[in-house]
Amino acid sequence: MILKRTVRSILVFCPLLLHAIAGQACRMPPPSQLIGVEEQMRLVTDVAVGQVIGATPMGGQEVEYRFLSLETLTGQPGKVFTVMGRAAAPGSKETTFDNHADFAFWARGGGRVMNDADCGMHPSFVIGSSYLVFLGAPATRRSFEEIDLVNGIVNADDKWLSYVKQQLAKRQAADGTQAPERDYERTGQFIYRFHRIVTRNELDRKTLAAQHAPTELLLRVGRLADAFDHIVASNTVPDAERDSVLHEAVAVKKLLAAWSENDGGTTLPAR
């Protein structure tokens, strides 16, 4: 009788425990955190490049970071502004994605800050470092990007910073009343250059999967194909994003060639 009662208690308790654990995990990031750069720019309110000048623990994991505004791009973030975040996890790394020229930054879901287990964005910062901060609008993975200082001056060659400035200038010139014109010439040049490297047919995931291509290759091919389709269909795409996709196309082409020379197989040859 005692054994039956114990078993019954376990059966009742386990689903409740599993439900509680599942509730603590973020199975899928909210779509608002994964929006493209064009949509993010349509939602901006206050944007500034700020240098972290202080960090105050607020209890638990929460930290209040204080920024000195080095350059206000739009809105009124203030000369000193704050962002709530969390302390950096041990072993975490700061990155500028090679001054935001890397394909990984411009791809879907790219950016420095990932969502936490509660699906929220809790950025961490380093005192003395500078960041391009989006305030007011819902946070995305690209809302708190690190921007290098060169001899104490904000790096004007950073691709993300340059793009944000260009888009804000266009929006101010149009006063929000005109839709951006589609850049057919640049899109055509991009398609031509892309196909000089690798054709869209070479990136067919179903064909490669049927040939038992390795998972790593399928993932790289899939991301590249999605990026190509996005640029072709989009109204406005940053030059830096086009360039990063072309660089990734070169890398993927080399992987395809190496795999083909190895007579296919489910693994990539050693590089």
For the stretch 239-258, pLDDT in tens is 899 999 999 999 999 999 99
Helix, strand, or coil here: 229? helix
What are the distances in angstroms from CA 104 to CA 6, 98, 144, 202, 264? 52, 10, 16, 21, 26
Q: How far apart are CA 48 and CA 129, in angstroms?
A: 14
pLDDT score of 182: 60
pLDDT score of 173: 78
Among the listed ranges 18-22, 118-122, 210-214, which one has the minimum average pLDDT value? 18-22
| Half-sphere exposure of residue 46: CA atoms within 13 angstroms, side-chain side | 12
Among the listed ranges 16-20, 26-30, 102-106, 205-209, which one has the minimum average pLDDT value? 16-20
Q: Residue 238 — pLDDT band, cuts 50, 70, 90?
A: confident
Q: What percent of the chain has pLDDT over 90?
A: 52
Whether CATH 2.40.30 fits 31-174: no
pLDDT score of 181: 57
DSSP state of 121: B
Domain with CATH 2.40.50 in the chain: 31-174
Q: What percent of the chain has pLDDT over 70?
A: 82
CA 170 to chain CA centroid, nearest Å:
23
**pLDDT at residue 53 tops 60:** yes
Burial class (CB in 10 A: 0-12, 13-18, 19+), 221: buried
Is the sign of the CA dihedral 103, 104, 109, 110 positive or negative? negative
**pLDDT at residue 99 tops 70:** yes
**pLDDT at residue 15 tops 70:** no
Q: Residue 116 — pLDDT band, cuts 50, 70, 90?
A: confident
- As beta bridge partners, residue 50 has 69, 131
**pLDDT at residue 186 tops 90:** no
Please compute the mean of the pLDDT values over residues 45-65 and round it to a whole number.
Answer: 93
Whose tokens are 């196909």? That residue is 195
Q: Rounding to the nearest 10 degrees, give the CA dihedral for residues 111, 200, 38, 64.
A: -10
Helix, strand, or coil here: 73? strand
The model's pLDDT over 138-160, given as tens digits with 9 standing for 90+, comes to 899 999 999 999 888 899 999 99
Whose tokens are 């603590």? That residue is 24
**pLDDT at residue 174 tops 50:** yes
The token pair at 234 is: 């989009």
Quote the mean pLDDT of the chain.
84
pLDDT score of 268: 59
Please compute the mean of the pLDDT values over residues 76-91 and round it to a whole number.
Answer: 87
Q: Rounding to the nearest 10 degrees, give the CA dihedral for residues 76, 80, 85, 90.
A: 140
